[in-house]
Amino acid sequence: MVSSKNRTRLQILLVISVLGLLFLSGATAYYTFFRGEDLKDIVESQWSKQVTISARRGNILDADGEVIAQSASTQGVLVRPKTVNNAIKNGRTDLDTLTGNLAVILEMDESVIRARVTDETRTEVYLKRHISDSEARKIESLAYPGIAVFIETKRYYPFNDSLSQIIGYTNVDGEGQTGIEKQFDRYLSGQNGKRTVQTDANGNAIEGTEMLITDAVDGNDVIMTVSSAVQSFTQVAAKDCMEGTDADEVVAMVMDPATCDILSAVILPSMDLNNIVRDDPALLNELSRNKAFQQTYDVGQAYGIFLAAAGLDSGEVGTGDTFVCNGYDVIEGELVKCWRDPDKHGEEGLFEVLRDNCGMGYVKIADKVGKEKFYDHLKRFGFGSTTGIDGVAETGGTVTDPKYVTGIELSRLANGIGIKATPLQMCTSFCALINGGRLMKPRIIKEIRSSSGETVRAYDSEYLGKAVSEETSEKMRTILKKNAREGNASLAQPEGYDIGGYTGVSVTGDGVCRWFLGFAPAEDPKIAVLFLINSEDPDIDYSGSAAAYYSAALIEKTLRYMKTEQTGAGENFIEVPDIAGLTFAEAEQRLENAGFRIGYRFRSRLLGQFPAAGTKLRRGSTVYAVTADSETTDRYGLVPDITGKKLFEAIKEMKRNNIYIRVEGEVGEGVISTQYPEAGTPVEKGMIITVTCN
């Protein structure tokens, strides 16, 4: 018979057993129903791993489907440190031999390789990416445990440095860093997929155990408005210009004037996108800058055609109006000079003012237009703001605030001083000038297209407003056509086609910008061309003619590629004569006898000519004489005594000495009674003498 004491013990034991069973049952139920998936994941993580399936990055294509940027397969070297170190411990691999061989094949520092292969805190680590096929074969032939060659993708740019600042580039992981590659990264990159694979004790994948989790979604393609053919013509012209001039920078663009679609854009210097210099951040940043869209330049004389259009459109100026240039004027007590000073252009019509880039003519046009209408047309043409182009970062131009503009300031603005614009802005505004007056938002991205060919997003042409009337636009086309035949843009005239064009220069403390703006064919424009040469060299003897000259081949090739009917066939193109060794007068006569006009800054000693002798130009074109700077000759000295002289005679005498006269009070009989500075004062370039008359 069980004692009372033992019975109590049995009862306690029974309770404990029951409680234990209940606990175990509860724990089993908990881990089965509530933690089962977590435990499963923990176990699977120990004998399997997750692998990323890389999505194919989308292509960047031109308007005709030509590939501009694409991702191509390449190879890399991957290290599994645990497997490598197990092989070393087991005597299957020697560490020194392994690191030495890899250093030779991959051209890497042996200490870097040693650090990576012995770091067991990491499951896998890249040893080197984007290796050559030859390097990959050598690595595979060594058959080192834990050293594997894998397939990855690398961004490839078939046209090397073409469009480099606009296209941009990616990092080694295929992520966009600059340009379109960055701006459209979310469209181009796609979505990576995932899969799992079982691994052995060393972490190596077991074949046949792969299981897909999510599939990769390839990136979208970006379609540009650019034509690779026109881009190549522009690239050649810009590089020829860079080599043939003193240019520090060259920017060249071609647009469709009706829509402002960008057909080409070249910025030099550029860089080869397939060989990016990543170890020099300062240089990389400079070469990556899209100066066509993000750098503003002084407009200078190139604003002349927009000023003329404002005059015509406002009704304040007519094509038959004349303007007198005496070489200089004094406005609000300040000296304003034409570039021709100390010479003068005299009386000129509107065409002649534009042809000669007459600074005083521009001042008189602006005076007729007035500040309010001047600024109204600045705004209509889009100056002082961004163009609104989609998909590419841009910088807005700048214009002097009208509240600070007085008579003297308006005279500066008339000559483009105080107006800055990007080449993109200039070309867009020029299109509005010659396309009937329609200001359009420029376009370089046409659409985003999925890998299956469906349009994800379209970028349509957009009308922004009326810059000038159709009548004004037609008048300006007529003037610019004449200017390309016998004016400052004659060197841009290709054989077989009529074009319109204009050149201008801006001179600042930073150097010289030479502009050319042109369109072709003259009667039905299909292309608008911008050419900008920027140089720190202040020598402007042949003005914007160099920009015009290097545009000629670009215009001709582009029109032929477009199968544009020739409109100037049979024109008389003749060779430029040699004027070397001649006096200025002899050179002028020889060029006139051959059927050319002479362009010059100073009527002084000849140093050269542009373009070179033997170049074929249309009869009537301008050949530029490169002359010695007459301002360096010894023609200064002391201020003479002009008291007692007649005002008119004194003005002529002083101008020969680069001195200008300002009259205080009434002219009276026109005889000078006092002068300041006094006679005997050293002459300074451009100085003004204040006089009073009897």
Tens of pLDDT along 469-522?
999 999 999 999 999 988 999 999 998 899 999 999 998 767 889 999 999 999
DSSP H helices in 61-202: 81-89, 95-106, 110-117, 133-142, 164-167, 179-183, 185-188
SS3 content of the chain, % helix, strand, coil (to 5): 35, 25, 35
Residue 285 has pLDDT above 80, yes or no: yes
Reduced to 3 states (helix: H, G, I; strand: E, B; else coil), residue 582 is coil
Q: What average pLDDT does this structure show over 267-280?
A: 90
Q: Which residues of 601-611 are buried (b: 16+ CB within 10 A; e: fewer)?
A: bbebebeebbb
> pLDDT band at residue 636, thresholds of 50, 70 and 90?
very low
**CA angle at 390 for the pair 386 and 395, rounded to the nearest 5°:** 30
Residue 631 has pLDDT above 50, yes or no: no
Residue 292 has pLDDT above 50, yes or no: yes
- 72 close to 156: Cβ distance less than 8 angstroms: yes
Nearest CA to 168 out of 224, 129, 220, 128 is that of 224
Sequence-ordered list of residues with C-beta below 8 angstroms from that of 357, at least 6 positions apart, any chain: 301, 304, 339, 488, 503, 504, 505, 543
Residue 333's pLDDT is what? 81
CB neighbours of residue 359 within 10 Å:
27
Residue 348 has pLDDT above 60, yes or no: yes
Distance, CA of 439 to CA of 427 (rounded, Å): 11
Q: What average pLDDT does this structure show over 70-93?
A: 85
- 426 close to 262: Cβ distance less than 8 angstroms: no
Nearest CA to 429 out of 464, 481, 399, 394 is that of 464
Residue 542 has pLDDT above 60, yes or no: no
Sign of the four-CA dihedral 489, 358, 592, 481: positive
Tens of pLDDT along 100-126?
989 999 888 988 888 888 888 887 888
Residue 16's pLDDT is what? 79
Residue 393's pLDDT is what? 92
Q: Which residue has the higher pLDDT, 301 or 37?
A: 301
Structure tokens at 289: 């800058």
Residue 369's pLDDT is what? 96
Give me the percent of the chain exceeding a pLDDT of 70: 87
Q: Which residue has the higher pLDDT, 280 or 457?
A: 457
Q: Which residue has the higher pLDDT, 489 or 640?
A: 489
Tens of pLDDT along 381-393?
999 999 999 989 9
The HSE-up count of residue 687 (CA atoms within 13 Å, CB side) is 18
- 326-335, 519-528, 543-552, 562-571, range with the lowest pLDDT: 562-571
Q: What average pLDDT does this structure show over 318-340?
A: 89
DSSP H helices in 118-227: 133-142, 164-167, 179-183, 185-188
Distance, CA of 664 to CA of 36 (rounded, Å): 102
Sign of the four-CA dihedral 173, 174, 180, 184: negative
Sign of the four-CA dihedral 557, 558, 562, 568: negative
Residue 357 has pLDDT above 80, yes or no: yes
Residue 633's pLDDT is what? 37
> pLDDT band at residue 634, thresholds of 50, 70 and 90?
very low
Give me the percent of the chain exceeding a pLDDT of 90: 45
> pLDDT band at residue 55, thresholds of 50, 70 and 90?
confident
Q: What does pLDDT average to over the chain?
A: 86
Residue 534's pLDDT is what? 92
Distance, CA of 352 to CA of 345 (rounded, Å): 9
Residue 540's pLDDT is what? 46
Tens of pLDDT along 552-591?
999 999 999 999 988 765 567 888 899 887 888 888 889 8
Measured in whole angstroms, how far is the alpha carbon of residue 1 from the centre of its chain?
107
Residue 425 has pLDDT above 80, yes or no: yes
Antiparallel, parallel or unpaired: β 211-214 and 500-508 = unpaired
Nearest CA to 531 out of 509, 546, 541 is that of 546
Residue 52's pLDDT is what? 64
Distance, CA of 616 to CA of 489 (rounded, Å): 15
Tens of pLDDT along 668-679?
778 888 888 888
